[in-house]
Amino acid sequence: MSPTVTQAPAIRRAPPLAWAILGLGVFAYAVAVLNRSSLGVAALEAQERLNASAAQLALFSVLQLGVYAVMQVPVGVLLDRHGPRVLISCGLLLMALGQGLLAVADSVPVGVVARMLVGAGDAMTFISVIRAAVNWFPPSHLPLVTQATAIVGQCGQLAATYPLITLLAGFGWTTTFLSAAAVTLLVFVLAALLLRDAPADSDHRLHRTGLGETRTSLLLAWRQPGTRLGFWCHFTVQFSGMLFVLIWGYPFLVEGQGLSPGRAGALLASMVPAGILMGFALGRLSALHPQRRMHLVVACLVATVATWTAVIAWPGTAPGWLLGLLALALASNVPASMVGIDIARSHNPRERLGIATGMTNSGGFFAALVAILLIGATLDLVSGSGGYGTSEFRVAMATQFIVWILGSLLLLRAHRHLRDV
């Protein structure tokens, strides 16, 4: 197996200010998750307001995720050059602009542009918070800090369920998305004024490399077997939970399983505390048993595939307890994908962390955009003009198996390569 890269810590222990910086970064990421997930609970309203078909509605999320995924490597390069504060601030500003544009959108093209702006801003946030954590915390803290960032940041999903559903019902589309834009703009001001890239006495340096050196760093990062293994872990295990939260979960539960909007929102919201608990558990296990990280990823993948299989195969609508198990399994997807990021981080030197993290973090988003598009196209194909019900969603959700099979094969291949090096 390739030896793990030993990274000299910039600091021996985290100063109190580190926790304040991390808290602000996690808050910024939670707002990014709010913006990312906001269309999911408004999917039915979006179809009516923008006169969009299921395939067109899927296109919103596909392009948003496509922008996010494609930007991960360029953002990683910019992160190594300009630091977390600049990238997080710019990301928040782009998301505020996107949500403001969506608030006044009345057609599919305008809505698509708005969601692409949200995707671009979202792309700058998470890996920048992780890079700030690398600068402020010693390596022994990083598996747990990474999980904490990802999972506590998912609290933004809570704001994208009950509060947004309430705003939509009481005040309508425009007020809802303008409110999201205003919150994002406020956090932009806080980040621009208060965030710091690293402690003043650390050895942190920005890497302002030329084009040729950047190309070399990209090649070296991808040729590192640990980066490829992290990428395929992220690709295979994250996408199902993501598409459920972003767009198809709420329509699936309401139209496909007959739940009331309140119960559907409660089920989506329950994924957040469940994910927090799983995230801290997986982060602790990843730190204590780094040689067993693949076992953690595979266990979460098996649980997700098994519960989806049971829901899809269940005659008629699935019982509440089974949908609860599905929510629990999907809640493990983000924590498991963070294990993939931890694998890539531990096999790359500090000067390539932005690039390697960006590469790895793009995996699940590429998988999600493919799966979202497959589900939307399948719904339109099997439903005709009759609307979407249990049977239509059963067929559409089964297309996830295509992505799982592809990802699992490539994951096993990458793991074999890492062992053989």
Helix (H/G/I), strand (E/B), else coil: 13: coil
pLDDT (tens, 9 = 90+) of the chain, 421 residues, equals 444 443 434 445 667 888 899 999 999 999 998 898 888 778 778 888 888 877 777 777 778 778 888 888 888 888 878 889 999 999 999 999 999 999 999 888 898 899 899 999 999 998 899 888 888 888 778 777 887 887 777 777 777 667 888 888 888 889 999 999 999 999 999 999 999 988 877 666 665 656 667 778 778 888 888 999 999 999 999 999 989 987 889 889 999 999 988 899 889 888 888 888 888 888 888 878 888 889 999 999 999 999 999 999 999 899 999 999 999 999 999 889 988 988 888 888 877 777 888 889 889 988 998 998 899 889 888 876 667 788 899 999 999 999 999 999 999 999 888 876 5
Residue listed under structure tokens 């993939």: 340
Tell me, what's the pLDDT at 124?
Answer: 93
How far is residue 167's CA from residue 42's CA, in Å, rounded to a whole number? 10
Q: How many Å apart are CA 35 and CA 31, to the nearest integer?
A: 6
> CA of 407: how far to CAs of 25, 174, 266, in Å?
31, 39, 30
Question: In the prediction, which pLDDT does 3 show?
Answer: 41
Give buried/exposed letters for 25-62 (b at 16+ CB in 10 A, else e): bbbbbbbbbbbbbbbbbbbeebeebbebebbbbbbbbb
pLDDT at 13: 65
pTM metric for this prediction: 0.74
Taking CA atoms, 384 is separated from 68, 266, 389, in Å, by 31, 30, 12
- CB-based contact 304:240 (threshold 8 Å): yes
For residue 114, what pLDDT is reported? 92
- SS3 call for 3: coil
pLDDT at 4: 45
Q: In this structure, which CATH number among 1.10.3720.10, 1.20.1250.20, 3.40.190.10, 3.20.20.150 belongs to the domain 16-198+210-420?
A: 1.20.1250.20
Token pair in block for residue 41? 């609970």
CA distance 256 to 233: 29
Sketch the domain layout of the chain as residue ranges.
16-198+210-420
DSSP 41-82: HTHHHHHHHHT--HHHHHHHHHHHHHHHHHHHHHHHHHHHHH
